[in-house]
């Protein structure tokens, strides 16, 4: 696959301080009126499962959550109820993802050398998978997990196919996406200054001409976006024996 984890062979590295940034201020517009972060999987809220995985990752030192103002107290209660042990900060999110991640980045510990952005609605990422991405970012400055695309992807306009993309070079990028702290903050500020709402943080870094290296991800690391994703996530948890 030509991924960074293959290049470096998963070697151990020193542990620079890394803060996890969790954007959790989205509108859940495709969930039929439910807030996906507070939907239950095996009796546990989606966001709680996400935070528990981050809490168990040995290379993450703190968690900063960007949330809607009306959810801040609820998320604080959730962190207490599900015994999140790492330091947690909850800040108000922004009008879009870029602003929310920036708000979280500016609230991270000043000595955080790396920032790991992880979707609040990705509850199935394993702590050891997160750690592998962080280790790759130590060396490369920017890394993200990704899986090869299985479907054929076409570019269309007005419902008419314009071209078919070469599938062998296409990857579905997941989170956590991990960056040198200064690089990410600079990329986010550039996106804000340009009025550009990128769909992921790699996109903001790519706009600066910086390389993002891909680590082999897991097809289980799905993002909860629609009700069918909840059913799929439940099945994955069942196959894991109910644990993340």
pLDDT at 241: 86
Residues of the chain with pLDDT under 50: 1-2, 4-11, 13
DSSP letter assigned to residue 38? G
First-last CA distance in the chain: 26
What does the alpha-carbon distance between residue 98 and residue 197 come to, in Å, rounded to a whole number? 6
- Residue 55: CB atoms within 10 A of its CB come to 19
pLDDT at 34: 78
pLDDT at 33: 62
- Domains within the chain, CATH numbers bracketed: 4-239 (3.90.550.10)
Q: What is the pLDDT of residues 49-69, one digit of tens each?
A: 999 999 999 999 999 999 999
Q: Are 33 and 27 in contact (CB under 8 A)?
A: no
**What does the block give as tokens for 69?**
């103002």
What does the alpha-carbon distance between residue 210 and residue 129 come to, in Å, rounded to a whole number? 23
Q: How far is CA 18 from CA 135, 152, 202, 213, in A?
A: 11, 36, 17, 18
pLDDT at 27: 66
pLDDT at 197: 87
Q: Which helix (H) or strand (E) holds 237?
A: helix 227-239
Q: Between 97-107 and 181-193, two packed helices, what is the crossing angle to 10 degrees? A: 140
pLDDT at 10: 46
Bond preceding residue 176 cis, omega within 30 of 0 = yes
Residue indicated by tokens 């969930």:
31
Closest CA to 137 of 59, 62, 239: 59
pLDDT at 4: 45
């Amino acid at each position: 696959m030509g991924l960074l984890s293959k290049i470096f062979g998963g070697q151990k590295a020193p542990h620079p301080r890394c803060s996890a940034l969790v954007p959790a201020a989205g509108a859940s517009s495709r969930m039929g009126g439910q807030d996906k972060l507070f939907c239950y999987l095996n009796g546990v809220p989606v966001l709680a499962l996400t935070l528990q995985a981050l809490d168990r990752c040995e290379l993450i030192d703190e968690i900063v959550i960007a949330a809607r103002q009306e959810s801040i107290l609820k998320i604080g209660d959730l962190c207490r109820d599900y015994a999140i042990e790492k330091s947690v900060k909850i800040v108000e999110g922004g009008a879009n993802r870029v602003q929310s991640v920036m708000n979280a980045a500016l609230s991270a510990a000043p000595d955080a050398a790396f920032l790991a952005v992880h979707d609040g609605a990705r509850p199935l990422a394993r702590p050891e998978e997160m750690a592998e991405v962080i280790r790759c970012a130590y060396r490369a400055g920017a890394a993200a997990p990704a899986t090869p695309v299985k479907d054929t992807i076409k570019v269309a306009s007005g419902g008419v196919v314009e071209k078919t993309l070469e599938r062998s070079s296409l990857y579905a990028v997941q989170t956590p996406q991990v960056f040198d702290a200064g690089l990410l903050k600079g990329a986010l500020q550039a996106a804000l200054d340009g009025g550009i709402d990128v769909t992921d943080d790699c996109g903001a870094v790519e706009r600066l001409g910086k390389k993002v290296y891909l680590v082999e991800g897991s097809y289980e690391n799905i993002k909860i976006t629609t009700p069918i994703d909840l059913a799929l996530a439940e099945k994955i948890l069942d196959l894991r024996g109910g644990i993340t």
